């Protein structure tokens, strides 16, 4: 690329945002981290001080409006995403927003509608599994058609432990949401109904938390998917996916590390958290976002994908409460987005600062 680096501001510098800041400084090309913002102003100032030329901005909306910021990476809590993403759309800032897009389907749809009204796609949602090499190869194999039509998907999503503040509905909204996007992507189809069931919970979960949970998706085209989410498994961070097709099946997430046989035992290591398992996926995701933004495009999961996933999780929380299958209330895509450029891969007007870059 020959143009100026993309000047990126990061909103929310907790665990995920700080990881993205470090990524932008040390592993992403074509971008400069220029500003950070967090409600904990001391934490933001301390992080900014680690990197030359980075400013701490107290108000995230001021960061978004800052003419010295070209694009925004949002890693703040989901409850403030709607306000921040809408501000990015208003100011024409290309945005990478960590999941969930917002906390409920109504607010996510408002983001989609605002982006459509603004006249150009701006938002990529942080479903980084689409960028993970194993998931990408799984998708490629299915898309060749060599295995026939995809029939079933089985997912496992386990964390070693989560804080007591991570409640039952967050297992649906903040964890299961990844598998929602994976299944929509692999099937290339929407989820029609969701059922979320829970056995007697582990005694190691916080009081009142239903953990583990099992979700069943019925796709509009007739496919089905199951997902186990267990956020206090005590073992490590395990994410697996098996796709079952007419003439074969593909499984990923079985572990690619060193496998040792010694002293009548054998095995390997289980990652401790998401950064170990998906660090490469995050690098590829952010690099793709930077590259696409500098080309004047949007790549990866769109605002519609974020809305569709949130709509499924909204229905999933109702199912968790009732124990019944719940139909996903999803707006008609054609009515919301229309056709033309919105029906094809999203493209932005190229900012003047990047003219001539490739």
Domain of 185, CATH number, reads: 3.30.360.10
Does 307 reside within a domain?
no
Instruction: Average the pLDDT over 65-78 and give the result.
Output: 97
Same domain, 77 and 116: yes
Same domain, 111 and 166: no
- Its domain, for residue 157, covers 130-274
Three-class SS state of 104: coil
Same domain, 144 and 119: no
Most distant pair of Cα atoms in the chain: their distance: 65
Can you spell out the DSSP letters for 121-181?
--EEEE-GGGGSHHHHHHHHHHHH-TT-SEEEEEEEEE-S---TT--HHHIIIIIIHHHHH
Does 179 reside within a domain?
yes
Tens-digit pLDDT profile for residues 36-65? 999 999 999 999 999 999 999 999 999 999
Does 235 reside within a domain?
yes
Same domain, 26 and 150: no
Does 103 reside within a domain?
yes
Does 44 reside within a domain?
yes
Same domain, 291 and 240: no
Same domain, 58 and 170: no
| pLDDT score for 324 | 97
Number of H-type helices and E-type strands within the chain: 11, 15
Q: Total structural domains in the chain? A: 2
d(CA 33, CA 48): 9
Instruction: Average the pLDDT over 319-346 and give the result.
Output: 84
Three-class SS state of 57: coil
Is the pLDDT at 262 greater than 80, yes or no? Answer: no
| pLDDT score for 355 | 42
Rg (CA), the chain: 20
Q: Tell me the two tokens of residue 155.
A: 């997912």
Same domain, 153 and 261: yes
Same domain, 244 and 149: yes
d(CA 127, CA 96): 10
| pLDDT score for 358 | 34
Same domain, 298 and 263: no
Same domain, 12 and 134: no
Same domain, 95 and 167: no
Same domain, 15 and 104: yes
Domain of 99, CATH number, reads: 3.40.50.720
CA–CA distance from 205 to each of 127, 156, 165, 199 (Å)? 26, 18, 10, 13
Query: Do 129 and 135 form a contact (C-beta atoms < 8 A)?
Result: yes
Residue 327's H or E segment, with its range, is: strand 326-327
């Amino acid at each position: 690329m020959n143009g100026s680096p993309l000047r990126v501001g990061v909103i929310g510098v907790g665990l995920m945002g700080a990881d993205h800041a470090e990524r932008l400084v040390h592993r992403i090309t074509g971008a400069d981290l220029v500003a950070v913002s967090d409600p904990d102003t001391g934490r933001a100032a301390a992080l900014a001080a680690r990197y030359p030329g980075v400013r701490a901005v107290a108000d995230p909306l001021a960061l978004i409006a800052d003419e010295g910021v070209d694009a925004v990476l949002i890693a703040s809590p989901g409850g403030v995403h709607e306000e921040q993403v809408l501000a990015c759309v208003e100011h024409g800032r290309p945005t990478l927003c960590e999941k969930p897009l917002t906390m409920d389907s109504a607010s996510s749809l408002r983001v989609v509608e605002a982006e459509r009204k603004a006249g150009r796609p701006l938002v990529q949602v942080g479903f980084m599994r689409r960028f993970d090499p194993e998931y990408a190869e799984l998708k490629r194999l299915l898309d060749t058609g060599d295995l026939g039509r995809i029939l079933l998907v089985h997912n496992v999503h386990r964390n070693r432990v989560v804080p007591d503040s991570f409640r039952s509905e967050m297992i649906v909204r903040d964890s299961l949401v990844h598998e929602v996007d994976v299944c929509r992507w692999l099937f290339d189809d929407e989820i029609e109904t969701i059922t979320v069931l829970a056995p007697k919970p582990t005694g190691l979960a916080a009081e009142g938390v239903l953990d583990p949970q099992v979700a069943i998706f019925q796709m509009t085209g007739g496919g089905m998917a199951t997902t186990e989410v267990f956020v206090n498994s005590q073992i490590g961070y395990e994410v697996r996916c098996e796709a079952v097709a007419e003439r074969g099946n593909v499984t990923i997430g079985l572990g690619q590390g060193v496998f040792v046989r010694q002293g009548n035992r054998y095995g390997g290591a289980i990652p401790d958290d998401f950064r170990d398992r998906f660090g490469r996926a995050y690098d590829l995701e952010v690099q793709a976002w930077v590259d696409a933004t500098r080309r004047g495009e949007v790549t990866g999961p769109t605002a519609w994908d974020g809305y569709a996933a949130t709509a499924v999780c909204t229905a999933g929380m109702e199912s968790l409460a009732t124990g019944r299958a719940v139909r996903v209330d999803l707006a008609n895509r054609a009515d919301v987005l229309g056709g033309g450029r919105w029906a094809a891969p999203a493209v932005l007007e190229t900012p003047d600062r990047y003219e001539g870059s490739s």
